[in-house]
Structure 1
Amino acid sequence: MESIKNRRTIRKYKQDDVPAALLNELLEESFRASTMGNMQLYSVVVTRNAEMKSRLAPAHFNQPMVTSAPVVLTFCADFNRFSKWCEQRKAVPGYNNFISFLNAATDALLVTQNFCTLAEEAGLGICYLGTTIYNPDQIIDLLELPELVVPVATITVGYPDECPEQPDRLPVQGIIHEEKYQDYTPSMIDQIYAYKEALPENKHFVEINHTETLAQIFTDIRYKKADNEFMSEGLKKVLKRQGFDK
């Protein structure tokens, strides 16, 4: 698919509406994704209302795509629906545990990627927001998610109003391991990251952030240890709150 080869993250959208029929068709097709035990452990909350998008924005650090995109989709790990079905059919569910959350989160992320691929092939643009698991408690409150439901991914959707450069990718030989994992030597690391480090825009990031290396932008500025630990604690509390703590 050429749309996969040429994909890029879209953060600016035309204000043309995404027809509900098209969106529902793409979502239905995305639900053909592989799923744990054919249980379909996911739900999707569709947000179109401007006020609701504005209320969602703080959970995503007020990234402008949340309010400017015609549609915001929140993909959730969901064991609520399946557990209720079990209870109504004289079966006792045992899915209030961490492994069940991982199974449901995996299901939801498989569907998310299916949707993104299908949406881009249909001419839509998407932006994946990794902030969903940083502030899940806010999203849970706003979307009124019950126990055993946790948001794991958010996608903004609309018709593109930009055509940015494609982001760089590591060479395949740095990612693929034949038969067994081959750990990386210092020289291999140098080779794998050489192209990324040599890009003018990345050299500019290093310069304006006054760091010595590109890696330090990730460790010292963008994804700091203290922030990771703080948000990890928050996610643990959310999993307990939503019933995945056994």
Structure 2
Amino acid sequence: MDSIRNRRTIRKYKQQDIPAELLNGLLEEAFRASTMGNMQLYSVVVTRDAERKALLAPAHFNQPMVTSAPVVLTFCADFNRFSKWCRQRKAEPGYDNLISFINAASDTLLAVQNFCTLAEDRGLGICYLGTTVYNPDQIIDILHLPELVVPVATITVGYPDECPAQPDRLPLSGIIHEEEYHDYTPEAIDAIYAMKESLPENKHFVEINHTETLAQIFTNIRYKKSDNEFMSEGLKRTLKRQGFDK
């Protein structure tokens, strides 16, 4: 698909609404994604209201796409709906545990990727916000998510008002392993990351951040160990709060 081969993240959108019919049609198609046991362990909260988007923005570090996009979609791992169905049909659910969260999160992300692919093929632009799992408690409160529902991905959607350069990708040889996993030698690592390290924009990042290597930007600035540990503890608390800790 040309829309996949040429895809890029869109952070600036035209002030043009997305018709509900179009959005719902794309979501309905996206929900044809593979799902564990055909249970469809996800829900999607559609946010169009400007005030509600403003409330969500701090949870996403106030990235401007959250308030400027016509639609914000919060995809949630959801065992609440299925558990209630079980109880109403005289079946006692046992989904208040970590493996059930992983299953629901996997279902959710499969649907998310389907939606993104379909939306881009219809001329819409999307931005995937990884910040959703950094501040899930804030999102839970704002969207009134009940027990056994946890936000795992947020997508901003709109008609593109920019055409940024495509981001780089690692070579195929650095990702595919034939038959079994073949660990990386130092020489292989050098070859796999050579192109990424040679890009002018990445050299510029190194220069302006006063680091010796591009890797240090990731480990010392963007995704620090201390931040990862702090947010991991927060996620554990959220899973306990939402009932996935038994």
TM-score tier, shorter chain, comes to over 0.9
Equivalent positions of 1:168-183 (< 5 A) are 168-183=168-183
Separation of aligned partners in 2, 1:127 and 1:243: 29
Aligned to 1:236: 236
What are the ranges of 5 or more consecutive residues in structure 2 without an aligned counterpart? none
Equivalent positions of 1:161-172 (< 5 A) are 161-172=161-172
Aligned to 1:120: 120
Equivalent positions of 1:3-22 (< 5 A) are 3-22=3-22
**SS state of the match for residue 182, structure 1?**
coil
The answer as to 2:233 corresponding to 1:245 is: no
**SS state of the match for residue 75, structure 2?**
strand
Separation of aligned partners in 2, 1:180 and 1:188: 17
Separation of aligned partners in 1, 2:77 and 2:195: 36
Residue 35 of structure 1 deviates from its aligned partner by 0.2
Q: Aligned Cα RMSD in Å?
A: 0.2
Aligned to 2:188: 188
Residue 48 of structure 1 deviates from its aligned partner by 0.1
Aligned to 1:103: 103
Separation of aligned partners in 2, 1:151 and 1:164: 28
What are the ranges of 5 or more consecutive residues in structure 1 without an aligned counterpart? none
Separation of aligned partners in 1, 2:150 and 2:133: 9
Which deviations, in whole Å up to 9, do the C-alpha atoms of 1:140-190 show, x marking residues without a partner?
000000000000000000000000000000000100000000000000000
Separation of aligned partners in 2, 1:199 and 1:30: 35
Separation of aligned partners in 1, 2:147 and 2:94: 14
Which deviations, in whole Å up to 9, do the C-alpha atoms of 1:49-93 show, x marking residues without a partner?
000000000000000000000000000000000000000000000
Separation of aligned partners in 2, 1:12 and 1:209: 25
Task: Report the residue type matching 2:144 in the other structure.
Answer: E
Separation of aligned partners in 2, 1:173 and 1:48: 42
Residue 196 of structure 1 deviates from its aligned partner by 0.1
Q: Give TM-score, length-normalised by structure 1.
A: 1.00
Separation of aligned partners in 1, 2:120 and 2:136: 26
Task: Report the residue type matching 1:152 in the other structure.
Answer: V
Aligned to 1:52: 52
Separation of aligned partners in 1, 2:185 and 2:26: 43
Misfit runs of 4+, over 2 Å? none
Aligned to 1:29: 29
**SS state of the match for residue 202, structure 1?**
helix
Aligned to 1:222: 222
Task: Report the residue type matching 2:130 in the other structure.
Answer: G
Separation of aligned partners in 2, 1:59 and 1:20: 25
The answer as to 2:94 corresponding to 1:94 is: yes
Separation of aligned partners in 2, 1:15 and 1:116: 20
**SS state of the match for residue 87, structure 2?**
helix
Q: Share of identical aligned residues, percent?
A: 84
Separation of aligned partners in 2, 1:77 and 1:84: 15
Which deviations, in whole Å up to 9, do the C-alpha atoms of 1:115-161 show, x marking residues without a partner?
00000000000000000000000000000000000000000000000
**SS state of the match for residue 43, structure 1?**
strand
Aligned to 2:77: 77
The answer as to 2:147 corresponding to 1:147 is: yes
